[in-house]
Structure 1
Amino acid sequence: MRLRREQVVSTALRLLDEVGLDALTMRRLGQELNVQAATLYWHVKNKQELLDAMAEALLSDCVARAPEGLTWMDRTANMAERLRRALLAHRDGARVFAGTYVTQENTLRFADTWVGALREAGLSPRAAAWGTWTMVYYTIGFTLEEQALAPLPGVEDGKVDPAHLRAALARGAYPHLGEASTHLLDADLDARFRYGIQLILAGLEAAPRDEPSDPAPEGPRPRRQPRRNR
């Protein structure tokens, strides 16, 4: 059967769950698909293009319409929740997504809906675009940390033992951290994520609605003519 690009991407995502991003190499993928390198590179020319295709596939379930009747803030928070769930659906999903620059259907439609929600709230094009970026960066960063600290397959415990932080704070040398230790060690990551999103949304709600129109992009400057010797 002829190899298809979709098969390459789906196999790469399965391997990602099994071995993680660091062990996901083009050679390993070719072996899994039982194809030669030349066949594999016909579909993805290098690992970066493979990661772009994987990132696009991660968003396949994110492009569904948000529930009707939501406020713009709830719609926008829903977009961030969808992105986080998509990244958490695969091992190292946030690492795959970070650093990609995808211009394909799922990514563009998802981004258009996100920016559109902020535009409908009355934000300027700049505030809507930069507000979307801010929420995307926060979501990726939060999920990167979340996945970095999660237990690896076959390992019962995570990489961080809260007892170490408790012991360090028990000496009383860091009074402010000690006062907030209950919240620093709170394992409810869903609540922590939503708290950060609400902070961003509060800032966007307070953003001015009367920003000046975005300046038109500058055209190419005329080239100087060489000065002639007189």
Structure 2
Amino acid sequence: MAGTKRMTRRDVVHAALHALDEGGVDAVTLRGVARALGVHLNSVSLQVGTKARLLDLMADAILGELNLEDLPADPIERVKEIFRRYRTVLLAHRDGAHLVSGTRVFELNTLALGEAVISGLIAAHVHDQLAVRTFWGLNYFVVGLVHEEQVSQDAGGRRFDSDVSPTDYPALAAVRDFLLDDPFEARLEFGLDALLHRAKHQDD
């Protein structure tokens, strides 16, 4: 019909992100996105191809929300701040870490993240191979941390107390409160410091 706006790939990804936030990763289907947009399944498939490709585009769109402006001048502090913001962006979407961990994307926003982190590490005089390994290590750590953070922990204490006997697991029982109550922000900072300390002291 004349005057009808043509659906774009961006429309499809936006609708898919809405489905993600409403129902999680399992709720994202090509058919469901088509239904939400009021179009035929073939119209969605034409824009994104497969569900796997849609998930890749969604992951890159989430990374597009990562603000890489106004970062610290010190390169190591810059990398830390990037990953703090990365965590925030992942937390902004239901199953955000689950989605991103299941994709291997080389799109505009994902490449921008890699460029910002690698350039910061190189500026801190980290040699190329270690810079790459540090980037991957930081990425895996933060995505994994957020994945745990986004999984319900409501019954964690009760489950621990019923399954972890001080007789069978004395060390775990001794540190119970730290295991269950350590804030995710503190875990984040510890992991960032540990991985970046290794990078900074590459010759030790």
Partner of 1:195: 190
Pair 1:24–1:87, CA change in 2 (3 A): same
| 1:45-102 deviation line (CA, Å, top 9, x unaligned) | 0011111111111011224224343x32221111211211111111111121113222
Q: Map residues 213-224 of structure 1 onto 2, 5 A cutoff.
A: none
The structure that is helix-richer by fraction is 2
- Do the aligned partners of 1:66 and 1:78 also contact (CA within 8 Å) in 2? no
Partner of 1:126: 129
Partner of 1:163: 158
Q: Determine the C-alpha separation between the residues in 1 that align with 2:156 and 2:84.
A: 27
Partner of 2:8: 4
TM-score normalised according to structure 2 size: 0.90
Partner of 2:58: 54
Pair 1:101–1:167, CA change in 2 (3 A): closer
- Do the aligned partners of 2:82 and 2:117 also contact (CA within 8 Å) in 1? yes
- Do the aligned partners of 2:60 and 2:109 also contact (CA within 8 Å) in 1? yes
Q: Determine the C-alpha separation between the residues in 2 that align with 1:167 and 1:87.
A: 32
Give the counterpart letter for 2:106 in structure 1. Answer: T
- Do the aligned partners of 2:13 and 2:54 also contact (CA within 8 Å) in 1? yes
TM-score normalised according to structure 1 size: 0.80
1:140 equivalent in alignment to 2:143: yes
Pair 1:104–1:169, CA change in 2 (3 A): closer
Partner of 2:86: 83
1:25 equivalent in alignment to 2:29: yes
1:99 equivalent in alignment to 2:102: yes
The answer for unaligned runs of 5 or more in structure 2 is none
Give the counterpart letter for 2:202 in structure 1. Answer: A
Q: Determine the C-alpha separation between the residues in 1 that align with 2:171 and 2:163.
A: 13
Partner-residue secondary structure (3-state), 1:61: coil
Percent same amino acid at aligned positions? 31
| 1:172-203 deviation line (CA, Å, top 9, x unaligned) | 43221122112111151111122122111111
Aligned CA RMSD, in angstroms, stands at 1.8
The answer for unaligned runs of 5 or more in structure 1 is 151-157, 210-230
Give the counterpart letter for 2:9 in structure 1. Answer: R
- Do the aligned partners of 1:63 and 1:110 also contact (CA within 8 Å) in 2? no
Per the TM alignment, residue 168 of structure 1 is displaced from its structure 2 partner at its CA by 4.4
